[in-house]
Amino acid sequence: MDVLIDNADVLFRAFGVTLKLLLVSGLLSLLFGTVLAAMRVGPVRVLNVAGTVYVNIFRNNPLLILLLLLFFGLPKLGIHFSYFNLNVLALTLYTSPFICEALRAGVNSIPIGQAEAARSIGLGFTQTMRHVVLPQAFRAVVPPVASVLIALTKNTSLVSIFGLLDLTARMKGLLNDYPSQLWWIFIGIALFYVVIVELISLGAALLERRWRIA
Amino acid sequence: MVDTPMVAMRGVQKHFGSLHVLQDIELEVARGEVVVVIGPSGSGKSTLCRTINRLETIDAGSIEIDGRPLPEEGKALADLRADVGMVFQSFNLFAHKTIRENVTLGPIRVRKASKADADRRADELLERVGIQAQADKYPAQLSGGQQQRVAIARALAMDPKVMLFDEPTSALDPEMIKEVLDVMVDLAKGGMTMIVVTHEMGFARTAADRVLFMADGRIVEQNTPDQFFTNPESDRAKDFLGKILKH
């Protein structure tokens, strides 16, 4: 138990790193995932194909491989990111296809008549999506998107391999320094992740309740 | 340009796979005319209605609205659709918006009306169709007949040149059909150009200037309601009327 109390400041800083990583890559994934979904359901053939190819490539490869590729590949191309940005980039590229697919399922669950009615009063494709289809799709996809974000929370732990001192990296450090308190360290670190995941679940539940009426 | 028909379809052909759903459609609808389209299911009458604002594309031929050919896609098509009101069998009210928001969405986003103006106009229209008291409710809280009247108000809010009705009462309980038909009869009397796909023969008799009978993707017969119902010419029409008017 002492190990957690003695290292509280380190742990909370690491918690901050994990949280920041999650927030930035989560927001970017939501944004880019929405763009991808719009590409896939839109009327432009080239964008359909581009979206599908992207989703298939990035969803079908392990995040670790993507991280390795960016970590060693980008510098060779003369592109240099900070560790933080590089990890955010990898997590975003990897997570957005999952957001896209969750959204696309949501869009497909909205009856076609909604879009037809929107088009029949003169709304264009973008307006139809923005004012009629997506607001309804977002409601339908709160639970699956929450699952994607929870998966992202746990995926952030991979960045510990690539130079960021997040919770998992700190766990490894502490395990080296306090091998006798192994269980406390595991439990302590796990609790931090549980807190994040519970927050996401709570947020999702609140959104669901707020949007249910309509 | 008084002579320009409001809707003109020439040589229109449409296939769904191997099914020839619209064959050699020639149709002109004059300004202020009310045309009722009837026919057995699968005759292509809904498809005909939906091609007029290009919710269905056509394979050949041409369609003009008020002298302008239907644009292919994009902004020009959206602009044209804004002038063509459509009422669907399944209402299709925007489920996440209140009744008033359903009516104001088009005016605000497409006609760039101010919210205040759009709200005022929406309340007028909702009053006209008898739904004003429900303006702040959501579609799911209304009965089918009420929803359909809102859908009519939503279409009217765009000040359309022509209104298309695709079986507007087919999804309604019998006691709600009248309230919707009453609104439609008022519209017809008010001089709106209307194309109505329906099974309501009473409406056709009361409000239609012309009845169009379709079967197997063709316009088989057209006449005044009086002539058509008392004196159908084609065997298909006689057969159809025999089946629906016997009971």
Tell me which residue in B78, B85, B93 faces A124 most closely, judged by beta carbons: B78
What's the whole-number mean pLDDT along residues A154-160?
88
Whether A163 shows a pLDDT value over 80: the answer reads no
**Average pLDDT over every residue of A165-193:** 89
According to DSSP, the residues that pair with B194 across neighbouring strands are B34, B163
Report whether pLDDT(A212) > 80: no
**What's the mean pLDDT in A159-186?**
86
Q: What is the mean pLDDT of residues A90-109?
A: 94
Residue A122, sorted as left (phi over 0), alpha (psi -120 to 50) or beta, turns out to be left
Residue B153 has pLDDT above 60, yes or no: yes
* Helical segments of chain B, H only: 45-51, 74-83, 99-109, 115-128, 144-156, 174-189, 201-207, 225-230, 235-245
- Among positive and negative, which fits the CA dihedral A117, A123, A125, A130? negative
Is-contact A63 A155, C-beta < 8 A?
yes
Handedness of CA B182, B185, B189, B191 (dihedral sign): positive
Contact check, Cβ <8 Å, A120/B95: no
Distance CA B21, CA B56 (A): 11
- Average pLDDT of span B141-148: 95
Model confidence band, residue B154 (pLDDT cutoffs 50, 70, 90)? very high
CB neighbours of B173 closer than 8 A, spacing ≥ 6? B144, B145
pLDDT band at A201 (very low <50, low <70, confident <90, very high): very high
CB contact under 8 A, A132 and B94: yes
pLDDT(A169) > 70: yes
On chain B, the residues whose CB falls within 8 A of the CB of A132 are 94, 105
Q: pLDDT value at position A213?
A: 54
Q: Which residues, numbered 74 to 103 in chain B, qualify as contacts with chain A under a Cβ-Cβ cut-off of 8 Å?
A: 74-75, 78-79, 81-86, 88, 90, 92-97
> What sign for the dihedral angle of Cα B67, B70, B76, B77?
positive
Pair B45, B197: CB distance under 8 Å: yes
Reported residue count of chain A is: 214
| Chain A nearest C-alpha distance from B105 (Å) | 8
pLDDT tens string B31-40: 999 999 999 9
Inter-CA distances, B232 with A14, B239, B241, Å: 84, 9, 8
Look at B109 and A139 and tell me if their CB atoms are within 8 Å.
no
* Cβ–Cβ gap A121/B74 under 8 Å: no
- What is the distance of C-alpha B174 from the center of its chain? 20
pLDDT digits (tens, 9 = 90+) for B61-118: 999 999 999 988 788 899 999 999 999 999 999 999 999 999 999 999 999 999 999 9
Q: Which of B109, B112, B170 to mutate to test the interface with A (most CBs of A within 10 A)?
A: B109
- pLDDT confidence band for B246 (50 / 70 / 90): low
Nearest to B38 by CA among B225, B180, B176, B246: B225
CB contact under 8 A, A114 and B92: yes
Measured from the Cβ of residue B130, the count of other Cβ atoms closer than 10 Å reads: 15
Q: In angstroms, rounded to a whole number, what is the distance separating the alpha carbons of residues B109 and B136? A: 20
Which residues touch B154 (CB under 8 Å, ≥6 apart)? A117, A121, B93, B102, B103, B105, B106
Residue A114 pLDDT level (bands cut at 50, 70, 90)? very high
pLDDT above 60 for A34: yes
Q: Which residues of A158-197 are buried (b: 16+ CB within 10 A; e: fewer)?
A: bbbebebbbbbbbbebbeeebeebeebbeebbeebbeebb
> Cβ separation of B75 and A124 shorter than 8 Å?
yes
Q: Are the Cβ atoms of B90 and A113 closer than 8 angstroms?
A: yes
Residue B200 has pLDDT above 80, yes or no: yes
Confidence of residue B175 (pLDDT cuts 50, 70, 90): confident
Question: What is the mean pLDDT of the segment spanning B155-179?
Answer: 94
pLDDT score of B3: 76
- Mean per-residue pLDDT for A150-154? 94
Reference B87, options B184, B195, B169, B168; nearest CA is B168
Task: Calculate Rg over the CA atoms of chain B.
Answer: 18
Structure tokens at B226: 């009086």
Q: At what angle do helices A63-76 and A83-109 cross, to 10 degrees?
A: 130
Q: Do B53 and A113 touch (CB under 8 A)?
A: no
The residue of chain B nearest to residue A130, with distances taken between CA atoms, is: B109
pLDDT value, residue B247: 59
Query: How would residue A134 be classed by pLDDT, with cut points 50, 70 and 90?
Result: confident
Q: Which domains does chain A have, with CATH numbers?
A: 2-211 (1.10.3720.10)
Partner residue facing B109 (CB), from A117, A127, A213: A127
pLDDT tens digits, one per residue of A14-25: 899 899 999 999
Q: Do A120 and B96 touch (CB under 8 A)?
A: no
Q: What percent of chain A has pLDDT over 70?
A: 99
**Residue closest to A95 by CA, chosen among A162, A147, A29, A153:** A29
Give the Cα separation of B179 and B182 in Å (integer). 5
- Using a CB–CB cut-off of 8 Å, the residues of A that contact B are 43, 111, 113-114, 116-124, 127, 131-132, 135-136, 139, 213-214
For range A4-12, the mean pLDDT: 86
B121 and A CB contact within 8 Å: no
Can you give the pLDDT at residue A3?
83
Residues on chain B touching A43 (C-beta within 8 angstroms):
73
Q: What is the pLDDT of residue A193?
A: 92
CB A202 within 8 A of CB A146: no
CA distance B71 to B60: 14
Whether residue B155 and residue A120 make contact (CB cut-off 8 A), yes or no, is yes
Residue of A nearest to B75 (CA): A124
- Name the pLDDT band for A196 (thresholds 50, 70, 90): very high
Edge-first strand listing for the sheet containing B60-65: B19-29, B7-16, B60-65, B68-69
